[in-house]
Amino acid sequence: MKAGPLYHPHLTDDIDLLLKRHAASSEALQAREVLLKQLQNAITHAFGPHCQLVDLTFSPAHTILTNMRVELAVVDRLTPDGALPPIIATPKLVATLRALDLQVISDPSTARTTGLYVSTSPSASPSTPGKLLPGLQLILNYSLPFALTRLRLFECYFALHPNLPALFSVARLWLDSHSLNGISPTSLASLCIGYLQMTFGLPHLQRREVVEGVRQDELRSVLTNEARQWQVRPLPLGELLVGWLRYFGRRFRSKQSAVCIQSGGLVHSPATNSTLRVYDPFKKSHNHANLSPADTARFVNLAKTATDTLEKARPLREVFGPALPNPKSPRMGVNPRLAQDIWTLYESNQPTPQTLENRRKIIRHINRLIRDNYGEVYEVMQFGSTGYGVDTDSSDLDLMICDHERPTGFSPNLGNLAPVYDVRGIGKILRKAGFLDILAIPTASVPIVKCRDRYTNIKIDINCNELLGLRNTELLAHYCNLYHPLRPMIFFLKRWARSYGLNDPGAQTGPPGFSSYCLALMTVAYLQTRNILPSLQACFDGTPADRDQHGVWLRVKGKPPVWCDTRWKEASEWVCPDVSLEEAVYGWFKFWGSDIDYARTGVDIRLGKTFERERDGRVNTPTSKKGRKGKRGDSVTNAAVLLKDMKLTEPNTPVTEASIEIASIRTRSDSVATTVDSIPVGEVQMAQEELNTLRAEVESVPSTNGKAANFEQPVLWRSHGLLVVDPFIRAKNVAGNVAFSQIELLRMNCRHTIEMLENGLPLDRIMGDFATEPPVAEPMPLPPPMPFGRGRGRGGGRGRGRGRGRSD
C-alpha cells in the first residue's frame, strides 16, 4: 500500500513560529486603532453621524499580522444590514481620505462594486499613525449589504474550528509573499471556510432549516446559537495548510465551480473564463475575489508547487515568495537548559564500559590475525569518531593496519605493495576467523574491507596504512581538548543532521548528504571564525617540510601519489575565550543558515578562516533547476568484491596497484562462506564516486613531484554547492559529493532551528523525525559445538558423500 505524504517534522511548529514573528506589535496595534478612530471621525464629519465604520477583518478571532490588509465597511446605523443609500459621493470620500494622508491606490470609478483601496503614507507627519504603519493597505466598502451579519457569520465559523484562525493568518502571509493582492480578507476567509466545509465536514450554519423564516434583525443571534450546538474535532495546523494548498492547487476548477459557503462550500457555476469566484454568503451576485484569469492561474500554480514542496518534507519557508516581509529578529531567548540538555544527550549516549572492552578485544584479535598472516611489522590502530570521542554504542569501529615499513604512506620510491594491502586477502582471513557480512571495496578512494563481529555485532571498517585518517583523528582530538564543549557540540550536530536526513553520505535513504567528518570540520571552521579556536596548521604555511618526516603520501589510483603536509602544532598556550555551549550552537546555526554565502565563500581549518571561492558563469547553484540530486557511480560489479562469491588472493601473494584495482564477481557455492543478504549498492556507488571526484580534483591542480605548486583551487570546485577544504588533502573538498538539494536543505533547516532557538524551544522540539539513535544489536551468543561426524556436513546426518559405512 502506498504510504501517505511525509511532511516536515516541525511544520506545525514552524507555522506557529512564523505567525509569532510576523504578529503586529502592541505599538502597531495601538496605531491601527488610532487610524481607524481618525477615519471614523472623518467619515462622520463628512457624511453624518449615522455612518458607522465597521472592521470586517474579525480581528479578535485570529493573529493580526504586521502588514495585514484591513477591510472596512461603512454602514448606516438605521439599517445596518441593508444597502446603503447613495449618500456617499466617491470624490468627497477620496478627499476625506487624502486629508488623513491616505493614498488612493485603486480606480475610484469602480469603488462602489470592488471597494476603495487606500494605503498609509510613509511620508506622513510623525504624529500620524502612518509613521508606525507604513504602507498599510485598507479596503473601504460603502455599498455592500449585510456587513454586520456577514461579520457575525465568519466569527461563528472561526469559533467552531480552533485552527481555522491560524490557517487564515498563514494563508494571508503566503498570498502576500507572492503579491496576490486581489484576494481580500473576506474572500480569503470564504476560501478557508469553504475548504473545511467540503473536505472535513465543517457545519453548514446557513442551512435552510436554520435560516428559513428568520427576520433579518434576528439572523445574527440565530447563527450564534446554531454554532454553539456543534463541536468540531480539531485538525493539526500543518495538515490543514497542506490540505488547503492541495485542494486549490490540484482539485479546484475555477471555470466550473465557485466558492460559496452559503451552499456548503462549493457551487456548480460554469463560466466563460477561469477567474476565481468567491460568492457572498448573503448576496450570490457579488464576487469578493478581485483576481484576473492570469492571477487565478498563478494562484493555482503556486498552490500546487507549494503542495509538492511540503509533501517532500521541505521546510515551510520554501513555499513563501520573495515579498514576504522580513521583520526584525526578536531578542535572542535560547532555552537556559539547552547546554545542559546537550551535555546530557552526549553523556547518556557514551559507549558503555562493556562496548569499550569489546572494541579493545576486537582490535587485539584482528591485530593478532594480521601479524600471524603478514608479519610483526603491522599494527592495527583505531581512528575516526571512536578515536576522538563523539561515538555511541552503535558506532562503527574504524581500524587501520599501520605498516611500519611505510611510515609516510604510499611513497613512490618503495615499489610494489605488500600482500597486506589487498583488502580481499584480508577479507579471507577475517572470514576464516568467523567474522560476518564481509565485503571488500578495493576500488574506493580508500580501499576497505567491511565486516561484523559475530559475538558483539559491532560493524568494522578496515583499511591498510591510510595514514591520513589517523592524522585527522589526532588533529580533531586536539581541537576538542582546546575547547571543552566541542565534543558534545559535534555529537549534537551529528544527531541534529541525522534527524533531518542530512547525515547520510552513502545515500542509503536519499541524496548523498554530509559525512560526520565534514560536519566536524564545519564546526571547527565556524569556531575559528569566532576566534574560539586557533588554526593549528597555519604557522607551517610557507615553511619547508621534510617529506620523510612531516607528511604522508596519498594514493590516488590511476595517478601518481600526492604528498600531504600533515604538520600541526599543539597550541598549549592558547587561552580559549569563555563562550558557552548554547552560544556556540546558536552561532553555528546562524553562521551556516545566513551568515555565509555558500556560492562565494569556502572554509578551511588549515587557514583558520573563510576565503573567497573562484567562480565562473557555469556554476549551478543549490537552488537552480539543474542542481544535482546525487551522482551515480560505476557498476557495482566494478566497485565491490563479495568474498563469498570470488576466488580470493592468498595472503602471501605479492600485490601491485593494478591487481588491487581489478575486481570481479564469480558465483560459486561455499558452505563455509559468510552469508550476506545483499550488496549495499548505494555505499559502493558512493565509494566509487568519491574516488572519481578525488581523481578529478587532483588532476585539476598543477603539481611538481607530487606536491601542489602555487596552490590553486581545482576547477571542479566551481561546480560544488559547498566548499569545505580538507586540512591535509589540499585538493579535496570534503563536501564535494553532497547533493545540492541537501546543501539547500541544510541552510533552510539551520534558519528554521534559529527561529526555534530564539523562541526558547527545548532540545526535543529542535530535532527532526529521525532523531533516535539506531538501536544497538544484541550480541549473538556463540553457538554450541556440534557433534563431529564422518559425514560431509558435520551435522550428524547421513549426508550425500563419504557417509557409507558410518556407525550411527
Asked if residue 473 lies in contact with residue 383, where contact means CB atoms within 8 angstroms, the answer is: yes
Centre a 10 Å sphere on the Cβ of residue 152 and count the other Cβ atoms it contains: 19
Could you give the C-alpha distances from 641 to 388, 424, 428, 449, 695, in angstroms and in order? 31, 8, 11, 9, 22
Asked if residue 307 lies in contact with residue 253, where contact means CB atoms within 8 angstroms, the answer is: no
Q: What secondary structure does DSSP assign to 733-753, as a single string? A: BTTTTS-HHHHHHHHHHHHHH
- The CA distance from 521 to 598, in Å, is 15
pLDDT for residue 132: 55
- Determine the residue type at 677: D
pLDDT for residue 457: 94
pLDDT for residue 314: 84
- The CA distance from 431 to 436, in Å, is 7
Report residues of the chain scoring pLDDT below 50: 1-3, 124-126, 130, 330-331, 617-679, 681, 703-706, 708-710, 771-808
Q: Which residues pair with 137 in a beta bridge?
A: 119
- CA 390-396-400 angle, to 5 degrees, is 95
- The CA distance from 192 to 175, in Å, is 13
pLDDT for residue 765: 86
Laid out side by side, the sheet with 724-725 consists of: 609-612, 601-604, 724-725
Asked if residue 704 lies in contact with residue 688, where contact means CB atoms within 8 angstroms, the answer is: no
Question: In this structure, is the dihedral angle defined by the CA atoms of residues 389, 393, 396 and 399, taken in order, positive or negative?
Answer: positive
pLDDT for residue 115: 80
What residue ranges define each of the domains in the chain, with the CATH number in brackets? 11-319 (1.10.1410.30), 339-766 (1.10.1410.10)
At residue 55, the 3 state secondary structure works out as strand
- The CA distance from 728 to 726, in Å, is 6
Could you give the C-alpha distances from 57 to 69, 70, 338, in angstroms and in order? 8, 6, 39
pLDDT for residue 567: 92
What's the pTM value of the predicted model, to 2 decimals? 0.71
- The CA distance from 521 to 524, in Å, is 5
Q: Which residues pair with 119 in a beta bridge?
A: 103, 137
Asked if residue 759 lies in contact with residue 638, where contact means CB atoms within 8 angstroms, the answer is: no
Helix (H) or strand (E) holding 135: none
Helix, strand, coil percentages in the chain from 3-state DSSP, rounded to 5: 40, 10, 50
pLDDT for residue 133: 65
pLDDT for residue 628: 41
Cβ-count burial 25-61 (b if 16+ within 10 Å, e if not): eeebbebbeebbebbbebbeebbeeebbbbbbbbbeb
- The CA distance from 321 to 302, in Å, is 9
In sequence order, which residues have a C-beta less than 8 Å from that of residue 513 and are 6 or more positions away?
497, 501, 502, 503, 504, 505, 507, 738, 739, 742
